Amino acid sequence: MKARLILADGTCYEGLSFGHPGEAIGEVVFHTALCGYQEILTDPSYHYQLVAMTYPQIGNYGVNPQDFESRRIYAAGFIIRELSPIVSHWQANRSLDEYLRHHGVPGIHDIDTRALTRRLRDHGAQMGMITTSTEPVADLLARLRAGKTLVGRDIVHEVTTAAPYRWPLREEDANAPSPPARKRFRVAVYDYGVKFSILRSLLRSGCILEVFPAATPPEEILAWNPDGIFLSNGPGDPEPVDYAVQAVRKLLGRRPIFGICLGHQILGLALGGRTRKLKFGHHGANHPVQYLPTGAIEITSQNHGFIVDIDSLPGDEVEITHINLNDQTLEGFRHKRLSAFSVQYHPESAPGPHDSQYLFDHFLQEMERFHA
């Protein structure tokens, strides 16, 4: 079946449908990782996004029961050059096509994804639509343009948990060996759209994890008596998630705080920083980030459309710890007095290199110090 990808600027790409036949609207972003599509699709941060993979051969190893980042697909649609005709992997239990169909997510393949990437790079990320409808482009465009963009919109509440729970709910979600027998810290996780891999990393570090809804008041968090508070990744624009910002502001100094991605942006806002949208964001598994205290370089997994402005943080209180070597944007900071630090990128990777796992150890050390 034919499908079309239409961008808000009117560009139209004709390709073939896979997954669920139908329509999806979202912000079109490109991702440069060579593999890891299963992790990407299930990452809640891709809520309302149509993800285009720059690597042209996708679906080769199918979908397996282990490599999920959540229990469903969050990406609104999937855009690729060539869908693998078969699955070849010992772990796989279904094909990518079946998986998208099962979750009702439309996909389009057989389009020039490099041309699309260059357009997004030059003109910026924009809203788009994948559709199998045969309506005239003008009609589709009207519908597309009527849709809401991600800016100024709180979509965290759509992906966060409804009630607190102990993670993992199910053994298979942990997908990890049992934690070492040492001091086990209690970590309260603010779920703005948390990835399993972050929880797995914390669990591997021996943490006891309680996952809280994004709008949980700080008092409730403290009532659980955590050793540390974790601010998760999540989708969209951080600015409208003001309830989270305010909660974090109240929690600063009360317990060690560690934030990743959206959690980093919320911490940045709580400290008085500003956020802004990037032209086309960072979505990939190959971005070099420098850890300024040592000068060491990490190859990082990235997925963000917004950043904390590097100049907006109060210099007397906040120390810049990480910068992106490609575009010099802020990738991490720590509070000079209070125990709070965060990174914009994904130390839990998935997909991507495991260079930055040390940050979870830093969190443990912070909790240990705080405990003492």
Partner 1 sequence: MPKRKDIKRILVIGSGPIVIGQACEFDYSGTQACRALKQEGFRVILVNSNPATIMTDPEFSDRTYIEPLQAEAIARIIEQERPDALLPTLGGQTSLNLAVELAERGLLEEYGVELIGARLETIRLAEDRERFRRAMLEIDLQVPEGEVVRSLEQALAASERIGFPLIIRPSFTLGGIGGSVVYNREEFPAAARWGLAASPVGEVLIEQSVLGWKEYELEVMRDQADNFVIVCSIENFDPMGIHTGDSITVAPAQTLTDVELQNMRDAAKKIIRRVGVETGGANIQFALNRDTGRMVVIEMNPRVSRSSALASKATGFPIAKIAAKLAVGYRLDEIPNDITRKTPASFEPAIDYVVVKIPRWDFEKFPGNDRRLTSQMKSVGEAMAIGRTFKEALNKALRSLENGWSGFHAREEASIARLSRTALLDDLRSGTPERILKLWQALTLGISPQELCRLTGIDVWFLENLRQLVEFEGTITREYAERSTLRAETLRRAKRMGFSDRHIGLLLGKRETEIRAMRKAAGVLPAYKIVDTCAAEFESFTPYYYSTYDEENESLPSDRRKVIILGGGPNRIGQGIEFDYCCVHGIFALRELGFEAIMINCNPETVSTDYDIADKLYFEPLTYEDVLNVIEHERPEGVILQFGGQTPLKLAVALEKSGVPIWGTSPDSTDLAEDRDRFGSLLDELDIAHPQYATAVSVEEAAAAARQIGFPLMVRPSYVLGGRAMEIVYDPTALETYMHQAVRASEEHPVLLDRFLEDAYEFDVDALSDGEDTAIVGLMQHIEEAGVHSGDSMAVLPPYLLSREQREDIVEATRAIAARLKVKGLLNIQFAILYDTLYVLEVNPRASRTVPFVSKATGIPVAKFALRIMAGERLAALKLRVPAELPYVAVKESVFPFDRFEKADIFLRPEMRSTGEVMGIAETFGNAVMKAFEATGIQVANGGRVFLSVNDNDKARIVPIAENLHKLGYALVATHGTAETLASRGIPVQPVLKVSEGRPNVVDDIKNGAIQLIINTPLGHRARQDEYAIGWTAIKYRVPFITTLSAAEAIVRGLRARERHPSEYRCLQEYHRLL
Residues at the contact surface with partner 1, assessed by CB under 8 A = 13, 30, 32-36, 38-39, 54-57, 60-61, 64, 66-67, 81-82, 84-86, 88-91, 111-115, 117-118, 121, 284-288, 290, 295-297, 299, 325-326, 349-355
Query: Which C-beta is closer to partner 1: that of 40 or that of 318?
Result: 40
Judged by CB, which is closer to partner 1: 220, or 361? 361
Measuring CA to CA, which residue among 271, 275, 250, 272 is closest to residue 262?
275
CB of 296 to partner 1, least distance (A): 7
Please state the closest distance from residue 340 (CB atom) to partner 1, in A: 27
**Strands, E, within 92-162: which ranges?**
106-109, 126-131
Q: Which amino acid is at 292?
A: L
CB of 338 to partner 1, least distance (A): 30
Taking the least distance from each CB to partner 1, the nearer of 252 and 285 is 285
Is residue 348 annotated as part of the catalytic site, yes or no?
Answer: yes
Query: Which residue's CB is nearer to partner 1, number 169 or number 296?
Result: 296
Q: Which is nearer to partner 1, 70 or 349 (CB)?
A: 349
Are the C-beta atoms of residues 196 and 222 closer than 8 Å to each other?
Answer: no
Min separation Cβ 307 and partner 1, Å: 16
**Of 65, 68, 58, 18, nearest to 38 (Cα)?**
68
Encoded amino acid at 169, one letter: L
Report in angstroms how near the CB of residue 134 gets to partner 1 at its nearest.
17
Question: Annotated catalytic residue: which of 69, 261, 282, 287?
Answer: 261
In the bound complex, what is the minimum distance in angstroms from residue 117's beta carbon to partner 1? 4
328 closest CA partner among 260, 269, 263, 282? 282
Q: Which residues pair with 209 in a beta bridge?
A: 167, 187
Smallest gap from residue 274 Cβ to partner 1 (A): 24
Contacts of 361 (CB under 8 A, 6+ apart): 205
Residue 355: is it exposed, middle or buried by C-beta count within 10 angstroms (0-12/13-18/19+)? Answer: middle
Q: What is the DSSP letter of 223?
A: H
Give residues with Cβ within 8 angstroms of 327, minimum separation 6. none
The two most distant CA atoms of the chain are separated, in Å, by 67
Question: Residue 113, Cβ neighbours under 10 Å: how many?
Answer: 24
Contact 214, 241 (CB under 8 A): yes
Which position among 27, 39, 348, 366 bears the catalytic label?
348
372's CB contacts (< 8 A; 6+ apart) are: none
Name which of 31 and 335 has its Cβ closer to partner 1.
31
Return d(Cα 60, Cα 65) in angstroms, integer.
Answer: 15
Taking the complex as a whole, the smallest distance from the CB of residue 118 to partner 1 amounts, in Å, to 5
94 bridge partner residues: 63
- From the list 109, 283, 287, 346, the catalytic residue is 346
What would you report as the CA-atom Rg of the chain, rounded to the nearest whole angstrom?
20
- Rounded CA gap, 87 and 98, in Å? 11
Q: What are phi and psi of 237, to 5 degrees?
A: -85, 125
Residue 311 structure tokens? 């100049």
Catalytic residues: 261, 346, 348
